[in-house]
Structure 1
């Protein structure tokens, strides 16, 4: 009798222990999922709410902009606001948009290609002081762009490039972060066996890069190009310092000029908001058109 009374609680505790562990695991899993999903919701709200406000505000005139709630449509004055933006200062806004497309497009294509070539060289070639040079590139990643604006302005003024498009185009071709990403992509996407096979077939380094390396790194090239496009499109300090001619300004600087006018003239506020709404459309188009190239694992299984 005494033995049975002692063993039954032990068996009960042994049976209850796995159930408690399952319950604790379930609670921990729920807490972690709740935390992760909550952070994702906050991040999405942080990014989406300003864009939603911009959509609603672009449909309002000056009276509705200051007299109605933030997330409500106005008298649907969107087309009227677009017409006012197109007519302001002889349609200079669309000249600003064209300038931004030139700056960002050249920075994305040429700057991305230079970054991919540099990252490919750092990963696949062996040369003297390679890691030291790559360390200098990493230091360039840590330096903010605003800290280099004034030195670049002094250099551009010495060669007479200020107040020209080259003063904005040349600096954006250098992208240290893109070089770092390109080296990571080259290490993961291009096996050395593939390059050795191309070398055996008689392909030189340049032909191997353009025929084999660049196609295999296309997802990385698109990623770097998108980062570069967005960065150059949103660039403010460099063109503000380098350019004085309004016909050469990008849309970011041009809208800031209108924003300064809206302090004394409230009628400029709908122009600023509508111009900001129009300025994000090229970014959306770029992401939509290039998202099918932005994939990973395209070369999985290429080495046999």
Structure 2
């Protein structure tokens, strides 16, 4: 009994250094991601002169945030709003459809046994290793032959496929979707599509949120694919539009104010998506850990 008590008292003291190390590492990681965001917020409040003459992490005497944001929204007939809506279309629709297709494919590979399923899964794993920049030029040539280059479809269609999302959904479905529950639904007369939409998607919701967030961030920040596919500035996403502004700062320094203000506005949708969806993500992961 004395030994047990001694071990119970010694365990917290031995785990305390490890907890401090983990906390310190997480704090460093948080600062690594938050410091650039803080710099963008501060930079968006300054004029071009103050941006280069004052400390980048301190506010200047002239607080011109609202003026800069107003200029961003009004410049060139509100072209930034068009870029913003284009990014919402590319990222929102692309991430939503990609998450659904990844869930359907992962569910099928996990719960249906058919010849060649392992080969299909191996091809999917190979697709995870192929960078998007390697497929941009072949896609451009293909879409040019089909007459789809310089259209919304040229950016949207490649965004509908997520090899990593299918891999994640397949692994998650294998461990969480109970085959007995599916058999019970079949005995009740439910079709396979109904089983997938009423049971499969509900169980896969944490994986769906994960795939959706990864795709949303990836498509929203994608620069190379729109650069290759698009030549009409009205079709640009925010990333490509802001880069065109940044390319004019040598000739017109006021574009620094437009660029920093545009970058600040471009981070808002991603922050909102993370805040809104994190409870579904965290709740699903916690539920899985209890099981």
Tell me the equivalent position of 1:66. 52
Q: Could you list the runs of 5+ residues in structure 1 that have no partner in the other structure?
A: 1-18
TM-score, normalised relative to structure 1: 0.87
2:228 maps to which of 203, 221, 241: 241
| TM superposition shift of 1:262 | 1.2
| TM superposition shift of 1:284 | 1.2
Q: Could you list the runs of 5+ residues in structure 2 that have no partner in the other structure?
A: 1-5
TM-score, normalised relative to structure 2: 0.91
Tell me the equivalent position of 2:162. 175
Corresponding position: 1:36 with 2:4: no
1:105 maps to which of 92, 110, 125: 92
Moved more, 292-301 or 118-127: 292-301
Relative to 1, partners in 2 of residues 1:161 and 1:78: Cα closer, same or farther, differing over 3 Å?
same
**Alignment check: 8 A CA contact 1:216 1:299 kept:** no
Tell me the equivalent position of 1:15. none
Corresponding position: 1:45 with 2:44: no
Alignment of 1:102-141 (within 5 A): 102-141=89-128
| TM superposition shift of 1:297 | 5.5
| TM superposition shift of 1:87 | 2.0
Let me know the Cα RMSD of the aligned residues.
2.3
SS of corresponding position for 2:250: helix
SS of corresponding position for 1:264: coil
CA distance in 2, matches of 1:176, 1:291: 22
**Alignment check: 8 A CA contact 2:205 2:284 kept:** no
CA distance in 2, matches of 1:291, 1:42: 21
Alignment of 1:19-30 (within 5 A): 29-30=15-16
CA distance in 2, matches of 1:289, 1:118: 26
Tell me the equivalent position of 1:218. 205
| TM superposition shift of 1:27 | 7.7
CA distance in 1, matches of 2:20, 2:154: 49
Structure number with larger C-alpha Rg? 1
CA distance in 2, matches of 1:139, 1:113: 21
CA distance in 2, matches of 1:216, 1:104: 24
CA distance in 2, matches of 1:192, 1:138: 24
